[in-house]
């Protein structure tokens, strides 16, 4: 058996409040009119609704780090705490490719004769692993000569051939031959 709704429940709460207030206080020349009260209450209610629930509750969460949007194309999670030159990184400040590169590190790797290191360390407290990527960056000259984070990680993971322009051009030529033969 369906429960019948009370007709008062279908009326807008603001309208009910205006009606109740107008019954309690008859309009006088010195006070505000019912129409003015209704306008004030409705604008206040709308402002409260907007403050409590944003207009675009289902936004796609598009950012420079995830141009496809986090809602429809979420980025992977970092497998471990990750530090870049001593600063902890978080998923919301990394692109999908950067997260995937950090997650590919399975053991300590070095590049540039050991100057760049991606080192897995166990924490003393709970034994979980952390990734620490270190490289010279103490002064402006050190930082000016650094490539991008992606290029540094590719070189750490794949060696100098992974970022060398000549090696990459040869690889593209090989792939083009394979595509032409297929």
Domain coordinates of the chain in residue numbers? 81-175
135-155: b or e for each residue (b if 16 or more CB lie within 10 Å)?
beeeeeeeeeeeeebeebbbb
Predicted local confidence at residue 6, as pLDDT: 57
Q: What does the alpha-carbon distance between residue 22 and residue 27 come to, in Å, rounded to a whole number? A: 7
> Which residues, 6 or more positions from 152, have their beta carbon under 8 angstroms from its beta carbon?
111, 116, 133, 135, 146
- DSSP designation for 162: G
Query: In terms of C-beta distances under 8 Å and separation of at least 24 residues, what long-range contacts does 10-19 make, across chains too?
Result: 13/45, 14/38, 14/41, 14/42, 14/45, 17/41
Q: What does the alpha-carbon distance between residue 105 and residue 118 come to, in Å, rounded to a whole number? A: 8
User: DSSP string covering 46-112, please?
Assistant: HHHHHHHS-S-TT-----SS-TT-TTTSPPPPPSSEEEETTEEE-GGGS-HHHHHHHHT--S-EEET
Q: What does the alpha-carbon distance between residue 44 and residue 52 come to, in Å, rounded to a whole number? A: 12
Nearest Cα neighbor of 14 from 32, 40, 33 is 40
Nearest Cα neighbor of 46 from 78, 91, 12 is 12
Q: What does the alpha-carbon distance between residue 79 and residue 30 come to, in Å, rounded to a whole number? A: 68
Tell me the pLDDT of the chain (182 aa) as tens digits: 555 555 555 567 667 776 776 666 655 556 777 787 788 888 888 888 777 776 666 777 888 888 888 888 899 999 999 999 999 999 999 999 999 999 999 999 999 999 999 999 998 888 889 999 999 999 999 899 899 999 999 999 988 777 778 888 888 899 999 999 87
Predicted local confidence at residue 100, as pLDDT: 96
């Amino acid at each position: 058996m369906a429960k019948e709704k009370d007709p008062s429940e279908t009326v807008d709460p603001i309208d009910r409040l205006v009606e109740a207030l107008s019954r309690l206080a008859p309009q006088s020349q010195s006070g505000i009119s019912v129409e003015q009260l209704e306008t004030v209450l409705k604008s206040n209610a709308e402002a409260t609704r907007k403050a409590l629930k944003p207009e675009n509750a289902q936004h796609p969460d598009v950012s420079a780090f995830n141009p496809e949007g986090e809602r429809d194309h979420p980025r992977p999670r970092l497998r471990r705490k990750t530090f870049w030159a001593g600063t902890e990184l978080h998923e919301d400040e990394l692109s999908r490719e950067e997260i995937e590169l950090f997650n590919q590190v399975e053991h300590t790797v070095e590049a540039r004769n050991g100057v760049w290191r991606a080192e897995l360390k166990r924490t003393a407290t709970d034994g979980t692993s952390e990734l620490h990527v270190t490289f010279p960056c103490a002064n402006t000259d050190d930082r000016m000569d650094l490539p991008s984070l992606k290029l540094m990680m590719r070189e750490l993971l794949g060696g100098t051939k992974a970022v060398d322009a000549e090696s990459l051009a040869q690889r593209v030529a090989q792939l083009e031959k394979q595509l032409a033969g297929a």
